[in-house]
Amino acid sequence: MAGAADKAVERLAQRLVLPAGPTPAGPLRLSWLDRYPTQMALIESLHVFKPDPARDGLGLSPPRVIEAALAAALVEYYPLAGRLAVSEESGELQVDCGGGGVWFIEAAVRCRLEDVDYLEYPLAISKDELLPHPRPRPSRDEEDKLILLVQVTTFACGGFVVGFRFSHAVADGPGAAQFMGAVGELARGGGRITVAPAWGRGAVPDPAGAAVGALPEPDGAARLEYLAIDISADYIDHFKSRFAAATGGARCSAFEVLIAKAWQSRTRAAGFDPATPVNLSFAMNARPLLHSRLPRGGAGFYGNCYYIMRVASTAGKVATATVTDVVKMIKEGKKRLPSEFARWAAGEMAGVDPYQITSDYRTLLVSDWTRLGFAEVDYGWGPPAHVVPLTNLDYIATCILVKPWAHKPGARLITQCVTADRVTAFHDAMLDIN
């Protein structure tokens, strides 16, 4: 069994990786949605890769392979090597493509991945040791300008963990995964990126007078407890079958089933008064709605392009409904996407900000990571065993749907949505299939 000393992360090197070839300079304009205040954060995640015996004998170093592929990918994704800056002319946030470079950190741990349970929660190694934090630590002002930081930590078994910190102002989830996939393509020996990136920020609406919110403050909100739940394929199929039987054969998605179940289970566990208004918020990809405006119909576009849909009800109705009925509520909400997005784009939302994130305990914020592409990224050692999304806002009720362990059917729910005293009730309600 590995001791604490064996789990210590040794930082071997840090450097700025520049594009491997010449790139354009100068500023690039960000879209309205890119500039939205809540995007001013570095989204953090850990990607765990098991060793591949077939590659161990080739003498290939994951950090070296990934660093070289990163430099090559930055030739086309050159804005990611830039810095966020404020335009002197417009006062708006933009990207300065002056070639500042991407921070790349190489690290190592003496234990095996299995000794730390493949970074299952609770993490046996601090996330900040596995995430890229340059030393000396940049000031808050300096860090706010960074767009991408990468750390590759190798383990004694030959496996490795890639830690990313990615600016939400420059890429949304699908965009970040698209870039990682391009790095993987080059790392596996591809001569070029199959789908070239497209900037195209002018295609995203810039509604006149659109309301703009801010990142919510804790304001005394209680800390919410982390809980990861693995869901089997049989569990998902059970509720899909119930939905089909109750609707004459209609279909629903795993996302709809699991989010309906999570919203209902959380509502029950929280013990709200039946008359309490409760809300479910989830991001939907808006690329299909802007197909004709985006360059190449959206192929390669990696900027923020989503809309937050909201479903409202009362605690009593959500708690006592069947899962099928809650799925119907979510489906009705999703149907509103084209009309609501069009109204927002036309500036007709009358001061309502659909992108506002709230710390109101009555609202559950949901993210679906299963279709973003992170689970398919392959640097030559196969796709990740699992992906660990990280959150620093433990006072906002969240639920993230991710793919389970590789080759294991089903799904995984990573939640931080109830207080510690309600976790058992929430967990039990999630597992109840009656």
The answer to whether residue 168 is catalytic is yes
Compute the distance between CA of residue 420 and CA of residue 412 in angstroms, rounded to an integer. 20
SS3 percent helix, strand, coil of the chain, rounded to 5, is 35, 25, 45
Q: CA–CA distance from 84 to each of 14, 40, 95, 174, 315 (Å)?
A: 21, 10, 5, 20, 42
Point out the catalytic residue in the list 168, 172, 368, 386. 168
Lateral strand order in the sheet of 148-154: 10-17, 102-108, 148-154, 160-167, 42-49, 386-390
Helix (H) or strand (E) holding 111: none
Point out the catalytic residue in the list 6, 378, 394, 427. 378
With beta carbons less than 8 A apart as the criterion, state whether 163 and 120 touch. no
With beta carbons less than 8 A apart as the criterion, state whether 235 and 323 touch. no
The answer to whether residue 378 is catalytic is yes
The encoded tokens of residue 131 equal: 């995430």
**Buried-exposed string 272-301: b where 16+ CB fall within 10 A, e elsewhere:** beeebebbbbbbbbbbebbeeebeeebebb
With beta carbons less than 8 A apart as the criterion, state whether 375 and 389 touch. no
Catalytically annotated residues: 168, 378
